[in-house]
Structure 1
Amino acid sequence: MTVEGTCADEFAEVRAEFERNFAERGELGAGVHVTVDGETVVDLWGGDAGGRPWTEDTITHVWSCTKGATALCAHVLASRGELDLDAPVVRYWPEFGEHGKADTLVRHLLAHQAGLTAVREPVPPGGMLDWELMTGLLARQEPFWAPGTRHGYHALTFGHLIGEVVRRVSGMALAEFFEKEVSGPLGLDFWLTLPDDLEPLAAPTVPADRGEALPSVYVTGLSRPESMQGLLLGNTGGYVTASNTREAHAAQFGAVGGMSNARGLAQLYRPLALGGEYNGVRLMDEAQLPVMSGVAVAGFDEMLLAPTRFSLGFMKSAGNPHLPAVERGASMSEDAFGHSGMGGSLGFADPGARMSFGYAMTKMGSGLGLNARGQSLVDAVYRALGYRQAPDGTWFR
């Protein structure tokens, strides 16, 4: 298997680990992209993309990395003064206030504190791809806890919640806003609704190997179908099994539906590593970045049943080396913020290092987010930048 692309000499270890992923860690097709000070220092790809070679332009389903793009849209509006993150959601979405949700704040949605971690009412086949249906269900649903009192990962509902606020404030659908204000100006290979003519570039997701250890959220969900975790796994309208279809790629699903590649992920975060601007495109004022990167919630996650750390819309470093590998998050620096995707994809910005990172692949792995393939690449990048790793997994200078 030949790895193609470019890699600066000082990042040679990243290339070596990328090649090891194919030789030793079961990688099928993937890419990794890194920028430092706005310049590309790693742009590598290789392997299989569903029976054809993975090329420079191959894209794939990046799952929850989509949440980073969706959260970014909300922060763009907040930076412009059009969205108040401390305001009640009902200021923008009046129908949302049913069943004790009137005091839910926009920041509660971003920080996974809204208590709407799964859908209670049965979702019909294909229902997750129906925006009006999903936002209506969530608006009238009773939360699993009083909003703002706990946090729990909103795996499949985050995009509809944030995306509907973006729609109400901007007057544009989430995917339209993202294309007009973010991906278009930056020239990103990242789509929240994939155009028909780009479908041939899409590499299918390949399930993780059977027999791999399962995180607690899956163990609980499979054994207790009535639980939040059970509803997360079993009440999706068949989305997960249909995620490789054209219908899924064309739909707007702001939690998990994004189509991109390593370059798209790294370049999404590039302006955020550089004060909010890249190449004349300013996404936000620099003052918005601490709001995006600062820890908003940390501790036991009611949905994932493991410790997590989130800023307002993004994952923070949470290596948790004392836990089994399947319960760990990504190990990054404390400055870093971004989002991983189911199976192992990852995109993030590290303003302290002026670095952005993207990794996308077809073959999924076990765990809550990043697995050994992606983490080995992140670790190699930080070592190349002269960082050291603390006992808790956090990288520091």
Structure 2
Amino acid sequence: MTSAAPSSTALPDRLCPRDGTRVPLADPAWCCPACAGPLDLDFHPVPGPPAGPATSLWRYADILPPAAPGISLGEGGSPLVPLTERVSAKLDFLMPTLSFKDRGAVLLVGLAQRLGAREVLADSSGNAGTSVAAYCARAGLRCTVYVPESTSPKKTEQIAAHGARVVRVPGDREATARAARAAADEPGVFYASHVFHPYFTQGTKTYAHELWDQLGGRLPEALVVPVGNGTLLLGVALAVEELHGAGLIPHRPALHAVQAEAVSPLARAWREGLDDLGGDTPAAPTLAEGIAIPRPPRARQILAAVRATGGAFHTVPESAIAPAQADLAKRGLYVEATGVACWAAVREGALGDTEAVVPLCGAGLKTGMAPSAQPGPAQKTSPSGA
């Protein structure tokens, strides 16, 4: 599939949401030079009727910032299927690299190509790195991906298969990010941080724009989103503001953020009424490895986005994750443990009878089934198969 060119070719600046510092996109700085925080994009499109195939992210090209065209792998247009009478699932694990991260990576790598990067560097717990590696392969760019040493071998195999160099870092996700950032200042290196770079969030906002499209010009009462670093939730919040600001939805749906109980710094801050993270949250083992982020850099923005819509934070215990994964598998949906967190929360009654959509973000093939979700031995059948 060939991507459409965005309607504007001028590169917008990045802005620090805290102090207003302006950083040109061509500047290699990956964070605010004043406060070292993540940057937003000074880009405010007004959505209109989408154009192009409904199965393509580029149906929304007019509200996406400019990037190099032609590196699409067919991302976007994931199906929406019912799970109950009131809850549907959007199957973003059916993206080209089997996770929703393709929505952001295609824009981020497209920008790197447009800026003439010599090499792209990323850090990830697996899915974002895989996505960046795949789009770098498509764009003909060298790529290095830093991952925690505990990352699923299936994910590192997928990253390496796309020709990227994999650097395994001892320690947790935070240690991996620090190691990547230390290498990000080399000349000619584009730091494709799905957390710090706002182009990624501009891509993930298409999740909600597609949903508005699929529901006939409306959004459900609640949008339930798993949150680690918040790249999907902040993209959804951005889309909601765009749609509401253009008068395409009468009110904002409530954003409900889901974290694993084992690593839930945002949920704790929300319960305590804080605008930012409180004390340190120790890393702890969890089946939902993709959202096990003790100190998300955009915590302040995530908390504000949820509060602005009257939403809430929910946590799911480890005991609920494997049964939710097994339940979805029995419905024909094979999703990795991180990707079932929202369904686990809904199954536990977090939203009551609210109409909601949950994203299924990553395929089960990336990690396999959680041990306690494994089916029992296959039953013997008669020769006839009866």
**TM-score normalised by the chain length of structure 2:** 0.29
Higher relative contact order (CA 8 A, sep 6+): 1
Q: Structure 1-normalised TM-score?
A: 0.28
